[in-house]
Amino acid sequence: MAFQQQTTAPTPTLVALRKEIQASANPKKAKILAGFFKTGKGEYGEGDVFVGITVPTARGIARRYSALSLSEINKTLASKLHEERLIGLLILVELYNRGDAEAQLKIFRFYLANMKRANNWDLVDLSAHKIVGRHLLETGATIARLKTFARSHNLWIRRVAIVATFAFLRAGKFSPTFRVAELLLRDKQDLIHKATGWMLREVGKRNKSVLTSWLKPRYRKMPRTMLRYAIERFPKSERKRYLAGKI
């Protein structure tokens, strides 16, 4: 009697991942993304290189290559290609979701060591709350780290600070968002204004009265973009009063 030889799928490698990235590249999409993420001279994404892979496609690739080692993931985060760094971060999220407490701590520390490589807003927004925020929330840690990050000279680390609080918001805890937002009220970067306003809006979606109580003594000194984002879901007449400084 003949026995069918059993085969196992080959272990994913960084070489194979990079080949799949190139196979999924879309030059027309890459050009659009390069403009959308401001890669021109003097812009916040200056020098970033896109190959034109959508987030859903990147998520699928990340799932298929989630067996990569941290040393290999480290190489993806050092890549000049935006989508390769994105996939590396999405793999970290996958590993964090599946890991036990020891593995999660290791990934959390690895993420902190590589935060500067999450150097565009989508890279931060798709990973910070799922690793940094979740870890601080679920381990009962203080948000002292986030407050330190909010004072960083690095734009992306400051964005990690506020976006990480999304994990707390989803658990009904508003204080971390307010405490980090307080530190960012005078920030000069529009990307921080948008992220902070987004998190404040998320507070309002869950409890408008809590948000308005925080806004009233502060809204006149908030950056305009931050305020607009924060009150985006308010009735039009109320938004006008806030923007006119008449609350």
Residue 1 lies in a domain: no
101 inside domain: yes
> Would you say residue 175 lies in a domain?
yes
23-30 contacts: CB < 8 A, separation 24 or more? 24/51, 24/53, 24/57, 24/61, 25/51, 25/52, 25/53, 26/51, 26/52, 26/53, 27/51, 27/52, 28/52, 29/53, 29/54
Task: Give yes or no: residues 99 and 171 share one domain.
Answer: no
Q: Is 68 helix (H, G, I), strand (E, B) or coil?
A: coil
Look up residue 216 and give its two tokens: 């009233």
Domain that holds residue 19: 10-126
Domain shared by 105 and 145, yes or no: no
Q: Are residues 37 and 48 in the same domain?
A: yes
Total domain count, the chain: 2
Query: Do 243 and 160 share a structural domain?
Result: yes
Together in a domain, 222 and 177: yes
Final residue in a domain of this structure, among 60, 91, 126: 126
Say yes or no: 116 and 137 in one domain.
no
pLDDT of residue 11: 73
Say which DSSP state 26 is in.
-
122 and 189 in a single domain? The answer is: no
Question: What averages of pLDDT result for each successive group of 10 residues across the chain (247 residues)?
Answer: 44 93 96 95 94 97 96 97 98 97 98 97 98 98 97 98 98 98 97 98 98 97 97 97 95
| 154, 147 Cβ separation under 8 angstroms | no
> Looking at the structure, do residues 140 and 121 belong to the same domain, yes or no?
no
Do 173 and 195 belong together in one domain? Answer: yes
**64 CB-contact burial (10 Å; exposed 0-12 / middle 13-18 / buried 19+):** middle
| CATH code of the domain covering residue 33 | 1.25.10.90
Strand, coil or helix: what is 81? strand
Q: Does 133 lie in the same domain as 85?
A: no
Structure confidence at residue 129 (pLDDT)? 98
Is position 2 within any domain? no
Residues 173 and 112 in one domain: no
Flag whether 200 is in a domain: yes
What is residue 75's predicted lDDT score, i.e. its pLDDT?
A: 98
Q: Is the residue at 3 inside a domain?
A: no
Q: Is 4 part of any domain? A: no
Alpha helices by DSSP H, listed for 152-233, are 155-163, 166-170, 175-183, 190-206, 208-215, 224-230
> Could you tell me if 54 and 115 lie in one domain?
yes
Give the pTM. Answer: 0.93
Q: What is the pLDDT of residue 3?
A: 35
Q: Please indicate, yes or no, if residue 111 is contained in any of the structural domains.
A: yes
Last residue of a domain, one of 126, 161, 194: 126
The residue out of 126, 158, 178 marking a domain boundary is: 126
